[in-house]
Structure 1
């Protein structure tokens, strides 16, 4: 199997651990403080990679693009997601955010005139959404945790969708490592400001689970998973990349079962199978009909 074939599956497995990692680490720290620490440590990791590999430095325009996408994806989206979990929004609802994003991404891509789906791919998107919904319905159910939780959930959905589209169509050209450094520089500024505004004076309860959750979030999610995502967005179609995210609720449910003894119902297991079938239909549908010359010029 070529690297380009296994990369999406490694990414999905890693990405799904973000929900269980948040559940593990947030009892010991405020959400924005946790993220500011994560972004700061990630910056140090990428600074080390830049010093060792000496990649091409992005232009001023490329840096601005990375600041925008990084602020949305790593600062805004994760900030909303972690705040929602801290407010008591269950993991099922966090998975629902990821379950809705591929469909919203596809609709916005069509609205922008970048692509059109074949009927088989629309069926796959619908099956994926249905499967993700069954996973949630068969686990803890959906609860918004009050008006603030609902606002954070909606904000997170908008930010991850907008950040994904912006990175695909406007964030290309920069070296992945140097580009990621600037993305996390922006995210560190966003989460640092939020921590100072809303969590000043709060203490961090250092413990083994907290250190593990922070280290895993930095190395496996913010470094490895994001580098894989940037490669996928550079080489693949944005809606096909987003379709893999339909598998996240199922993987999250499996991890919750293994780590926290949250039992999987027959309905949830059926949703995992349905979501996998939907992803297969989207990916087997071939490259969506698109304004090929326009996309190729952007990718180039």
Structure 2
């Protein structure tokens, strides 16, 4: 395929798929508790991945590599998804959760400098700051009272959202450091298995595990499995392999404005002028980071 396909279409597809995860959570959570929903999601996701692994004859890693992949699964899926779903379940809007975890590129860039010794150029740092400023503009508007439902939230929702932010940031760097040599499909299966164990334990200890199998829940669950857990995650792992961690992370700056647009269409959540300006600034930041290209790691 031509390079333009990989440079523009694949990242754009990933951003759209990833943004729909917040919408799917909002549709599914009225019918099941967070860990219970996520445990079912992980188990269902393993079925198509197992079929795919058999068809393509996926290579399986040794125990040491599998352990590293499992850690990535706990961070990228366990901490991130668990934090996002619990924050939404306890009252935080899908748009606000996406904005908080949208700070991930900056956290990942800092972690990549410390742990991977990636050299981030001046333009890339400028882009990351632009992205942070754009996200901050939208958050400022929401906490300013122009968006209903985002003020007066219990502090625990911020803790869950913060856990999601840390999990996806560290998971991206850990995957880049230890997981790039593992087969994509088998590695993803190991990640989901580790996350399923975490969610299963959480559901047993913290939840009633009751599920209302309504049509809306089934549709939301189906999209979360095939649109997110299969398609989006495979794209994410592929993008991490091909690009610097800070560059891949910059794509997450595009998720909040896309999620906000979807929330407007589906739930009539309206964007004010400050939020719209923030989305434009965030897009400009992503453009700076991506256009600068990857740089080599510094020598020890």
User: Could you tell me the TM-score, scaled by structure 2's length?
Assistant: 0.92
* SS at structure 2 position matched to 1:127: helix
1:153-192 to 2 correspondence within 5 Å? 153-192=161-200
Offset of residue 113 of structure 1: 5.4
Displacement of 1:97: 2.6
Q: Which moved more, 1:238-247 or 1:98-107?
A: 98-107
Is the 2:22–2:95 contact (alpha carbons within 8 Å) kept by the matching residues of 1? no
Provide the rounded CA distance (Å) in 2 between the counterparts of 1:251 and 1:233.
21
> 1:135, 1:253 within 8 Å by CA — same for their partners in 2?
no
Distance 2:258 2:98 in 1: 10
Would the alpha carbon gap of residues 143 and 164 (structure 1) be closer, same or farther in structure 2, given more than 3 Å must change? Answer: farther
- For 1:134-149, what aligned pairs fall within 5 Å after superposition? 134-139=137-142, 140=147, 142-143=150-151, 145-149=153-157
In 1, Cα distance between equivalents of 2:175 and 2:36: 26
Distance 1:110 1:51 in 2: 38
Q: 2:121 aligns with which of 96, 109, 118?
A: 118
CA displacement 1:49-72 (0-9 Å, x = unmatched)? 112221112111221111110011
- Structure 1 distance, partners of 2:268, 2:104, is 28
Distance 2:172 2:43 in 1: 22
Distance in 1 of aligned mates of 2:118 and 2:29: 39
Q: Choose which of 253, 256, 268 in structure 2 pairs with 1:261.
A: 268
Q: After TM superposition, give the deviation of residue 146 of structure 1 in Å.
A: 1.7
Distance 2:115 2:60 in 1: 30
Shift of 1:267: 1.7
The 8 Å contact of residues 243 and 294 in structure 2, kept in 1 or not, is answered as no
**Matched positions, count:** 292
* 1:241 pairs with 2:252: no
Where does the alignment leave 5 or more consecutive residues of structure 2 unmatched?
none
| TM-score, normalised relative to structure 1 | 0.92
265, 287, 298: which one aligns with 2:294: 287
Alignment of 1:1-300 (within 5 A): 1-2=2-3, 3-5=5-7, 6-112=9-115, 114-139=117-142, 140=147, 142-143=150-151, 145-200=153-208, 202-291=209-298
Contact 1:98 1:246 in 2 (8 A): no
